[in-house]
Structure 1
Amino acid sequence: MDRVIKKKKWTAKKLLTIGGVAALVLLLVASYYFTSGKSRLNVDTERITISEIKKGPFQVSIPVNGTVLPIKSIYLDAQEGGRVEEKYVEDGAIMKAGDPILRLSNTDLQLSMVSQETNVYNLLTQMQISRNAAQQNTVTKLNQMADVNSAYKEAERIYNLNKHLYEQKAIGLQEFKKAENDYNYQVERKKLTERILTQDSVSNAQQVAQAKQSYEGSENMLNVMRKKVGDLIVRAPVDGQLTSLDAEIGENKNKGGRLGQIDVLSGFKVRVDVDEHYLSRVYTGLMGDFSFADSTYKLKITKVYSALANGRFQVDMQFVGAIPKGIRRGQTLQIRLALSDETQAILLPRGGFFQQTGGNWIFKVSEDGKTAYKVDIQLGGQNPDFYEVLQGLKVGDKVVTSSYETYGTMQELVLKK
């Protein structure tokens, strides 16, 4: 007897067919989802940095490196060339002004000084001889003047006497005329002798003055030579520390050659390298600060060196207020150099996103925190911590500030925890 077999409603073939159709539909839907509209990428929130936009004090600044230097360095150059004969101290010694550092020898210079000394002594001897001769000549002239005065007075006496006698008819005219002629002769002789004595005095004074001037000139030259010989002993010009001493016994040093330097230890300055891009914005008076031993210290630009080298220029900064204890010459400081005054601004924390976006756009997190999408932004100034937001974001917004290097051309990020 035949038995009726019931037909199964869900066969394996039917289930496989339905499953295949469903998978195809899902594939099509997924394909449409990921190939149409916005491209999306799943990201793990633990591997990215999400920052909040805030408002606060902002100052445009740049990070720069500075090297600590003495407040003043005085270079030691050889005033005269010579051979290094003796070193009194070594590099690094603490010096007082006038302390000897090293001694040079220069035979030619020393011989020149001896020759000049001989010349001065000869001039002095010659001047003394000339002075004695002038004095002797003056004495002779004075004796002659005394004789002339005596003869003049005698002629005057006889003339006056004969004149009186002639008027009394006691003597003849010839005797009177002879007395008158003798008197007139002695008058002219006296005038001439007085003139010669005056000229002689003037001439003697001029000779003495010229001899004195020549002697003083030679003596000044001798003093210069003595100073040049004295400069063969190199001395510290100020109190400080001797550094960079470059001299060895037996070595020849040329005139003007660098021997070392003296660092004044009364204070420090900081020599800073700045990118040439900021040359027009950096000037004396700008402030900077740095951290040292858990404290912050301030610096001020006191000098700008506009010369460029390898795309950078240098400035000198001095401490404002306290100087850090324990700071040393040659130490490197990381300084934040302010290029503007402090203002209130909308702040975007710095991050790796800037390398891919150039600051033109950023991924902004949605209000539900599940996605982040592109938004255009406009940034202003910057400092080592923040960018100044001009447009595109407001206080309270959250953005992805970590690197976008692996995001490619994605338009939206799906945030997964």
Structure 2
Amino acid sequence: MPALALGLALAAGLWWLRDGAEALAPGARIERTRLTLAEVRAGRYDDVILLRGQAAPTRSVFLDAVEGGRVERRLVEDGALVQAGQPLVVLANGSLQLEVIRSEAEVANQLNNLRTLEIQLERLRADNRRLMAEIEWQLQRVGARGERDAELARVGFVSPAVLRDGEDERRYLEQRRDITRASQRTDEALQGEQARLLRESAQRLQANLALARANLDALTVRAPVAGRLTGFDLTPGQSLARGQRLGQVDSTDAGRVLAPLDEFHLPRVAPGQSAELELDGRTWPLRLARIDPQVKAGQFQVELVFEGEPPAGLRRGQTVQPRLALGASGEALLLPAGAFLADGDGREVWVVDGDRAERRAVTLGRRNALQVEVLAGLRAGEQVIVSSTASFGERRRVQLTD
């Protein structure tokens, strides 16, 4: 039993010596004045993020060349206010002009062919009507003569052979009439189908001509909407390709805010979340409209739009600091946000007890630009170092000096 007590006393002494040696080792003493301390407090956590973004136009419409060509005349300068439909630049394209002339000639030729066919069809119908009228007239004559011959044959003045000849002639004329009618229907159907095909071809050519004329008209580039023209750097004689970007037209107001956000918050942001901006003594409501989930340099971009009219004095490119609400506010244990979050990776903090500070594992929750929510590992009233602790290295405790 005395041996056990002696062993415990030796172990405690060794621990005290090691602890004291660590505290007295070079670098283990830290001046308290170099540190920033904060007390763990119970309070109201506002689940908001303070953003730093720039005002942007409510709408930006890109201006592209519908057809390629050479810049002939530049009608407005970059930065000018333009109206919807206002001409901005005139391009020249000889190939397109020749294409329009060729299309016009094709349409005219096709319309002439169609008109010629329609005239031929009308003439054929007239000839067919005359032919049918002649056949019907001959049938009437043969019929009348047959009736007379039949009366004369009963009294013996006309032989039976004459009656048979008259009957044969009548049947021939009836067959000729039927064949002529069938032939007329076939001819009219064929010519009608040909006319329909020509008509459809002319319509297609006219549509192509209208498109070519529209492309020719597009050589005069016009403003798609009213606003301020930007990025419009063209010089006479410059060659432009089809679809080449010429500039853009921005609305004159600044109804959007574009702001970068730390990737830590990406899982908690969603379109529709509310935000607000303090400006000119007023609070302006905003709404999160779009999220660009692509992370660059540890950040992603969000787009906020004003609910209603944007501030009249807000200018494009002006830096603003809106507050984005991520969730409901509530009571929690809180610490001020500081550099210690990056040093301990949010999992460890240094807790001060008198003239010493110890490293302690903690669980932190939500955070914003001002506050950090403490979920576990700390109690209200404890003092925590919230300034940078990178110089403490891998030590578990340090000595604080005045």
TM-score by length of 1: 0.80
Query: SS of the residue aligned with 2:52?
Result: strand
Distance 2:300 2:387 in 1: 32
Is the CA contact 1:70–1:329 (under 8 Å) kept in the aligned structure 2? yes
> Is structure 2 residue 369 aligned with structure 1 residue 362?
no
* Residues 1:407 and 1:206: Cα distance change in structure 2 (over 3 Å): closer
Question: Residue deviations 1:185-208, cap 9 Å, x none?
Answer: 221122222222322332332232
Query: SS of the residue aligned with 1:344?
Result: strand
In the other structure, the counterpart of 1:11 is none
Is the CA contact 2:254–2:315 (under 8 Å) kept in the aligned structure 1? no
Distance 2:385 2:176 in 1: 122
Distance 1:207 1:375 in 2: 95
Question: Partner letter of residue 349 of structure 2?
Answer: W
Distance 2:136 2:144 in 1: 12
In the other structure, the counterpart of 1:381 is 366
Query: SS of the residue aligned with 1:214?
Result: helix
Question: Partner letter of residue 219 of structure 2?
Answer: L
Q: Percent identity?
A: 30
What is the number of equivalent residue pairs in this alignment?
378
In the other structure, the counterpart of 1:8 is none
TM-fit CA distance, 1:68: 2.1
Distance 1:388 1:149 in 2: 108
Is the CA contact 1:148–1:193 (under 8 Å) kept in the aligned structure 2? no
> Is structure 2 residue 308 aligned with structure 1 residue 324?
no
Distance 1:203 1:358 in 2: 87
Query: SS of the residue aligned with 1:261?
Result: strand
Question: Partner letter of residue 150 of structure 1?
Answer: W
Larger displacement relative to structure 2 (199-208 or 134-143): 199-208
Question: Residue deviations 1:120-143, cap 9 Å, x none?
Answer: 112222222222222122212211
Distance 2:171 2:287 in 1: 94
Question: Partner letter of residue 179 of structure 2?
Answer: L
Structure 1, unpaired ranges of 5+: 1-31
Larger displacement relative to structure 2 (179-188 or 199-208): 199-208
Question: Residue deviations 1:137-187, cap 9 Å, x none?
Answer: 221221111111111110111112212322343321112112112222221
Query: SS of the residue aligned with 1:97?
Result: coil
TM-fit CA distance, 1:105: 0.6
In the other structure, the counterpart of 2:159 is 172
Distance 1:191 1:37 in 2: 126
Query: SS of the residue aligned with 2:314?
Result: coil
Larger displacement relative to structure 2 (204-213 or 95-104): 204-213
Larger displacement relative to structure 2 (406-415 or 125-134): 406-415
> Is structure 2 residue 230 aligned with structure 1 residue 243?
yes
Question: Partner letter of residue 85 of structure 2?
Answer: G
In the other structure, the counterpart of 2:287 is 300
Query: After TM superposition, where is structure 1 displaced by more than 6 Å over at least 4 residues in a row?
Result: 405-408
Query: SS of the residue aligned with 1:216?
Result: helix
Distance 1:107 1:160 in 2: 80
In the other structure, the counterpart of 1:72 is 59
In the other structure, the counterpart of 1:351 is 338
Query: SS of the residue aligned with 1:247?
Result: coil
Larger displacement relative to structure 2 (206-215 or 230-239): 206-215
TM-fit CA distance, 1:277: 4.3
Distance 2:342 2:179 in 1: 108
Query: SS of the residue aligned with 1:411?
Result: strand
Is the CA contact 2:253–2:315 (under 8 Å) kept in the aligned structure 1? no
* Residues 1:123 and 1:190: Cα distance change in structure 2 (over 3 Å): same
Distance 2:294 2:189 in 1: 64
Alignment of 1:139-288 (within 5 A): 139-265=126-252, 268-288=255-275
TM-score by length of 2: 0.82
State the Cα RMSD in Å: 3.0
Distance 2:353 2:167 in 1: 139
Task: Choose 1 or 2 for highest CA Rg.
Answer: 1
TM-fit CA distance, 1:42: 8.1
> Is structure 2 residue 116 aligned with structure 1 residue 132?
no
In the other structure, the counterpart of 2:11 is none
* Residues 1:147 and 1:127: Cα distance change in structure 2 (over 3 Å): same
Question: Partner letter of residue 369 of structure 2?
Answer: P
TM-fit CA distance, 1:72: 2.0
TM-fit CA distance, 1:269: 1.6
Larger displacement relative to structure 2 (222-231 or 122-131): 122-131
Q: 2:69 aligns with which of 79, 82, 98?
A: 82
